[in-house]
A = this chain, B = another copy of it.
Amino acid sequence: MAGLDDVARRAGVSTATASRALSGRGRLSEATRARVRAAADELGYVASVTASGLATGRTRSVGVVVPLLDRWFFANVLDGISTALAAHGYDITLYTVTDDPQQRRRLLHTALRRGRVDAVIVLSVEFDDGEIDELLALGMPVVGLGTPSPRLATLRVDDIRLARLAVEHLVALGHRSIAHIGRSHDDDRAPDIPTQRRRGFDAALADAGLRPAGFAAADFTIDGGFVAARDLLAGARPSAIFAASDELAFGAMFAAREAGLEVPGDLSIVGVDGHEMSGFFGLTTIEQFPHAQGERAAEAVLAALGEEVAEPASSLPFELVVRTSTAAPGR
């Protein structure tokens, strides 16, 4: 691989000048700049990141911390991040993080402190206070997407309003007996997404003078939705379910089918996400454009790194998509 001095030699200038010509920093004549560029092209020169990283402290890479790679939502967010970062010549270094405390230590204490990345994007991982301290102590930009901590610069959709939108749709259809599948902290002020959605659910019902017809906790998988819905349908059956994700909603649809119930005849179901399969299932849902969310998170981080990016809008959009899984309460 050709190095910078090969380029300099070929262009007949010093290494310093070659560096300036290629980076665009410092002023030099257009002629020499062009000469250096030509030499670099001819040699197929690409600057070594380890060398320039060591010299400048910048590596043009951002770390992305994800909880689970195989959730549809995260895969799409990641894709969005990747698109936006690539457009600015940044690479992405991927870190998976589960509940394993040792793994978290390794991430915070070692991986992120190796100087491999210039900034980090954290997706929906719940870090405790001490972990947030360590993140902040990294001394680089950290942006969260759907991260619960108020101490992190975080992009989020207004999940209370989002949930209200879903529930108000059901109420408008005439439903009076609406249950919820999701997750919730006991503390109403907990900032995590599932709790916010549960609060929006409660609030919308209260506004309509209704009380929850049931709540079932589930992790955000299809199977979780299936089991939760089976529980809900076993008791005094609600006429509608608001599921906190499309995957939960799919699970609920499978449970309804197993129970011999028709959707929406016997049971209306609303989800959240806009999952690629929601159309096939005829699922009414709140779309939230994860790909765009990823792009926005990437832009926030790029801005913090001093890159030129389009002015970011202030809030993340979502919208109700009505399909065939919701209707007026039947029979």
Query: Which residues of A are at the interface with B, using a C-beta cutoff of 8 A?
Result: 1, 44, 46-51, 53-54, 59, 61, 68-70, 72, 75-76, 78-79, 82-83, 86, 91-96, 103, 106, 109-111, 113-116, 139, 221-222, 226, 250-251, 254, 276-277, 280
Contacts and interface: CB of A to CB of B under 8 A. Distances in A.
A219 to B, nearest CB: 13
A163 to B, nearest CB: 25
Contact of A280 (B59, B114, B226): B226
B49 A113 contact: no
A179 B271 CA distance: 35
Contact of A47 (B70, B72, B106, B114): B114
| Most chain B Cβ neighbours within 10 Å, of A68, A92, A116, A222 | A116
A113 B91 CA distance: 13
B113 A46 contact: yes
A50 B93 CA distance: 14
Contact of A50 (B54, B103, B222): B54
A93 B96 contact: no
Contact of A69 (B47, B78, B115): B78
A79 B50 contact: no
A75 B251 CA distance: 21
A94 B86 CA distance: 10
B96 A86 contact: yes
Given A44-B109, A48-B114, A116-B61, A96 B79 contact: yes
Nearest to A291: B70
Nearest to A95: B91
Nearest to A79: B69
A274 to B, nearest CB: 12
Nearest to A251: B280
Contacts of A277: 222, 250
A296 B111 CA distance: 23
B49 A115 contact: yes
B79 A70 contact: yes
A59 B50 contact: yes
Nearest to A69: B79
Nearest to A74: B75
A69 B94 contact: no
A113 B3 CA distance: 12
